[in-house]
Each structure stands twice: as C-alpha cells, then as structure tokens.
Amino acid sequence: MILLIIGIKYLIDYASTVDNLYWIMGIYLFICFLTYQLNRKFKNKIFDFISLVVLLPLSLLYAFVKVAIPILSTQIYLFVYLGLSFIIPVIFYRIDENLLLTELKDETWIYLIITTGVITATLLHKQITFLTFKSIPFNFRKSEKMKRFIPVELCEYIVSKNNIKLVIYAIFLVALIVFTFLDLQQSSYYENQNIDKSILSSFVTFIAFERILTNSKLTEFRPSQLLKILKSSIFNETEIITDKKTTGNNV
C-alpha cells in the first residue's frame, strides 16, 4: 500500500512538470493504435518487437492497475469494517458534545470510543462483515468482470475475525512501543499525557476482554449449571433440616 501511494504520487508530480501533456498522450495513443494494427496485419518478429516496445508503457500501466485494484479494494474493506465498528461510540460522543449530557473529559471519551470499537470489531464480526459488504458502492458478487480483478474471497479474507484481531493487536503494539519510549524519555506523543494513558488503557481492557472470551470457551462453567447445582443444594439442605425436625418431634 505504501509503495502504491509513493508510485502514484511520483507519477502525479512528474506529470505536472511535463508541458503539452495531453498532446503527448494523444500522439502516443495514436502511435500505439497504429502499431497494433500494423502488427495484426503483418505478423512477423520485427513488428512483434516494435509493438512490444511501443506498448510497453501501457503494459506496465495495465500490470500496475491489475495489482493496485485488489490492494486498494482490500484496504477499503478493512477501513470500512473498522469505521463501522467505531461509528456507534463516535455518534454517542458527538451527541454528548452537542447536548452536553455528561461531563466526561476528552481522554475518557477516547478510552470509551477505542475500547468499544475494538470490542465491537471482534464481538460482532458477522454483523459488521455483512454491513461492510452492503456499504461498498459496487457489488463484486454480481459483476463477473470485477471478480477477475477483485476476488470476493480476498476481501472476505482481509476482514476475517483473526485478521481483524491481528490488525488491532498490531496497532496497539506500535502505540505501546511509541508511548512507552516517550514516557521513559519523560515526554508524550500528545500534549495531554492522559490521552496516551487512555489509549494504553484501552489496550489493557481489550486484552482482558479477549482473555475472558478465551477462558469462557475452555472452562466448564455455565450459569445454568450453577443454578441447577445451587437449587439442588438448597432443596437438599431443606430436606435435611426437615428430617431433623421430624426426628426430634418423634423423640
């Protein structure tokens, strides 16, 4: 993605320095068309070589687009997925900001937004994935031509639950390294040091949440089973007490 952005920026900067760019492009496209037609009419190695050389920039551009479209599409799907995960806490923040419903500080809201967003991204994965595919303006599933450029499986894979967790952990890891380094240097990434702490606290909360989910799948603890055992214990205790009273009265 970084290389793609650098390449596009370089092409734009270079194109802005070329005089009569549209005339040059028009003449080049005409030469390409003429070369292609001559190569079709006179099939030989010389025209094949000339056509290869003349059409090389277009071939490189086609290869670039063919690689760029899947990369950009997966990035778009990932950003839309994360955006949908964070949209609810952000809406609550905006409402509170306009109506002044609470007196929460900005760093507290940052903690709530990040924590709620990352937990939502992992806990409601199926629902957000469904909304992500519905939110994209073009539907790859119905377009056979687009499927050749952008496999649906690739977009579904990039927003898989494990990959979303990996992205979240990677972002938190970078933040942890940067904030810890700055803290040891008695500095801060933001002017308000509490913002650094709120982001790191979100990371700690997310880890605790993940551990609870993981352990809940491994443990045999079930609330229904607990209530059943508790109910059985209460009734057994009641029967014992009743039996003791009955025995005492008989004596």
- Asked if 46 and 84 sit in the same domain, the reply is no
CB 150 within 8 A of CB 70: yes
- Asked if 131 and 221 sit in the same domain, the reply is yes
Which one-letter amino acid corresponds to residue 245? K
pLDDT exceeds 70 at position 141:
no
Question: Is 247 domain-assigned?
Answer: no
What percent of the chain is predicted at pLDDT more than 70?
76
- Asked if 77 and 41 sit in the same domain, the reply is no
User: Which helix (H) or strand (E) covers residue 216, if one does?
Assistant: helix 193-218
Question: Is 218 domain-assigned?
Answer: yes
Q: What pLDDT does residue 222 have?
A: 63
Q: Of residues 180 and 45, which shows the higher confidence score?
A: 180
Q: What pLDDT does residue 35 have?
A: 80
- Asked if 171 and 74 sit in the same domain, the reply is yes
Q: Can you give the C-alpha Rg of the chain in angstroms?
A: 31
Separation CA 34–CA 51 (nearest Å): 9
Question: Is 232 domain-assigned?
Answer: no
Separation CA 15–CA 208 (nearest Å): 51
- Asked if 124 and 157 sit in the same domain, the reply is yes
Question: Would you tell me how many other CB atoms lie within 10 Å of the CB of residue 115?
Answer: 20
Question: Is 61 domain-assigned?
Answer: no
- The CA distances from residue 162 to 125, 145, 157, 169, 209, in Å, are 10, 29, 9, 11, 15
* pLDDT confidence tier of residue 221, bands split at 50, 70 and 90: low
* pLDDT confidence tier of residue 115, bands split at 50, 70 and 90: very high
Q: Of residues 249 and 99, which shows the higher confidence score?
A: 99
- Asked if 138 and 111 sit in the same domain, the reply is yes
Question: Is 153 domain-assigned?
Answer: yes
- Asked if 133 and 24 sit in the same domain, the reply is no
Please count the structural domains in the chain.
2
- Asked if 76 and 143 sit in the same domain, the reply is yes
* pLDDT confidence tier of residue 116, bands split at 50, 70 and 90: very high
- Asked if 95 and 33 sit in the same domain, the reply is no
Give pLDDT tens digits for 52-82.
788 887 787 777 777 777 777 777 888 888 8
Per the structure, the complete domain to which residue 75 belongs is given by 69-225
- List the one residue out of 87, 80, 78, 81 whose CA is nearest residue 116: 87
Say which residues have a Cβ less than 8 Å from residue 51's Cβ, sequence separation at least 6.
Answer: 35, 36, 38, 39
Q: What pLDDT does residue 240 have?
A: 47
Tokens of 220: 């045999």
Question: Is 199 domain-assigned?
Answer: yes
Say which residues have a Cβ less than 8 Å from residue 43's Cβ, sequence separation at least 6.
Answer: none
Q: Which 8-state DSSP code applies to residue 159?
A: T
pLDDT exceeds 80 at position 106:
yes
Q: What is the mean pLDDT of residues 126-152?
A: 64
